[in-house]
Amino acid sequence: MRFEDLRLIDPLVRAVHAEGYERPTPIQAQAIPHVLAGRDLCGVAQTGTGKTAAFALPILQRLMGEAAPRAGAHPIRVLVLSPTRELAAQIGESFAAYGRHTHLRHTVVFGGVGQEAQTQALRRGVDILVATPGRLLDLMGQGFVKFHALEVFVLDEADRMLDMGFIHDVRKVIAVLPQKRQTLLFSATMPRDIQELAGRILIDPVRVEVTPVATTAEKIAQSVYFVDQANKRRLLVDLLRDPAITRALVFSRTKHGANRVVEQLERAQIPSVAIHGNKSQNARERALTGFKRGAIRVLVATDIAARGIDVEDISHVINFDIPEVPETYVHRIGRTARAGAEGIAVSFCDAEERASLRDIERLIRMPVPVVSDHPYPMTASAVSVAASSSGGPGRGNGAGGSSHRSGSGAPHRSGGGSARPGPGGRRSFRGPRR
């Protein structure tokens, strides 16, 4: 099946192809026709399965198919709720990429940063709003957000919302949305609270489900280095001086971070290039071609830009930043050890990322071996923070606890632990009318 077979309009198909995708993933093939038909939908799928495109593409087509708003008027027609700012930013980048040939506007709002730029974007008007619950409620309380024209509501990562304690905020948002709307709910698992929520907000929904991330590749050697954020780039330079690292894919959480990593590597005379959403399509294609041919040894990428990359003989995947979403880790490291080859996955973890590492270990059901013998060990104060976030120094693989050493910094070989969904079984679900 091709994207054209899903009856997507040409501007969207061209945008998808420009991102390097030729065929839809299972969740996209199942969900897109139902969303285009206006049905409410319950999607059981994890991050990394392509679910963002599964709702973003048909939403963009729906908005494009309706009359364009009068000049200067862009009321909020779509709301996407996401549990974390990292996920919200990724969703925003996806709408930007897929909607590049449309007149539609979008913006992303989340906490932890000043709100001025966000409120300015809202004043100018947006068709699509991607938001985290807390900041959205703040902006609603200040009168910056109105939902009178809302047509589609997407609740993404519903079970993660529950785990993070946001479900009450989500209910507050839902309470002010128009009753007449299309609602799409996505969740990796369906615990009872999420089933009950889905039953209240979905009308005669279609349920689509795809197989979750199953395992980490058995031939991937995994390791983690505990290091202060300020020393991560120095540690990366130190590791990349090893000629055994023949082709490395380095993951950065942000576009700005990817650029800074490349600047540091270039100063150290290590050929590298960054690819992310701010790069032109031609620049990204040149970078990827150079990486495939071996002219560029190190490719620094964000998760969005790395989608669709399929390069053989990647010797190392390096998580410069630990991903907030555990399944993202599995997909990242799976880019090495292709076609029966062996591969190495290295992660840098600072004190604030310790909780994310713990989530990853819970998903893959094994500890990631720690390399403690390296030039930039975590400072004592940071070790204390990391230890407290992991429940104390007694954890075998936590900062400040016992660790695995590998004399030259090479990680230990680890088995392919099973990456299974978290608690909450998948039960059959039928949602009554609101």
* Best CA proximity match to 152, nearest among 101, 92, 76, 93: 76
**Residue 213, pLDDT score:** 53
Same domain (yes/no): 87, 37: yes
- For 194-198, 409-413, 425-429, which range has the lowest pLDDT when averaged over its residues? 425-429
Over range 418-428, report the average pLDDT.
30
Last residue of a domain, one of 209, 230, 254: 209
Same domain (yes/no): 192, 120: yes
Q: Model confidence over 45-74: pLDDT tens digits?
A: 876 678 999 999 999 999 988 655 554 568
Same domain (yes/no): 357, 285: yes
pLDDT at 378 exceeding the cut of 50: yes
CA atoms in the 13 A half-sphere facing the CB of 317: 30
pLDDT at 312 exceeding the cut of 50: yes
**Residue 126, pLDDT score:** 95
- Expressed as residue numbers, the domain containing 342 is 220-389
Mean residue pLDDT of the chain comes to: 82
* Residue 150 belongs to a domain: yes
Same domain (yes/no): 184, 257: no
Q: How many independent structural domains does the chain possess?
A: 2
Same domain (yes/no): 46, 145: yes
Over range 314-330, report the average pLDDT.
89
Q: How confident is the model at residue 370 (pLDDT cuts 50, 70, 90)?
A: very high
Same domain (yes/no): 177, 233: no
- For 184-198, 206-220, 398-412, which range has the lowest pLDDT when averaged over its residues? 398-412
pLDDT at 106 exceeding the cut of 50: yes
pLDDT at 264 exceeding the cut of 70: yes
- For 25-29, 189-193, 281-285, which range has the lowest pLDDT when averaged over its residues? 281-285
* Residue 40 belongs to a domain: yes
CATH of the domain at 187: 3.40.50.300
The runs of H, that is alpha helices, within 147-296 are: 158-163, 167-175, 192-201, 232-240, 255-267, 281-293
DSSP 207-229: EEE-PPP-B--TTEEEEEEE--G
Over range 25-44, report the average pLDDT.
95
**Residue 319, pLDDT score:** 97
Q: How confident is the model at residue 300 (pLDDT cuts 50, 70, 90)?
A: very high
Same domain (yes/no): 52, 172: yes
Q: What percent of the chain has pLDDT over 90?
A: 55
- Spell out the residues 6+ positions from residue 32 whose beta carbon is closer than 8 angstroms to its own: 6, 8, 24, 54, 57, 58
**Residue 392, pLDDT score:** 39
Higher pLDDT, 175 or 398: 175
Same domain (yes/no): 131, 180: yes
Over range 269-285, report the average pLDDT.
82
Q: How confident is the model at residue 380 (pLDDT cuts 50, 70, 90)?
A: low
**Residue 137, pLDDT score:** 97
Same domain (yes/no): 194, 224: no
213 vs 365: CA distance, rounded Å: 13
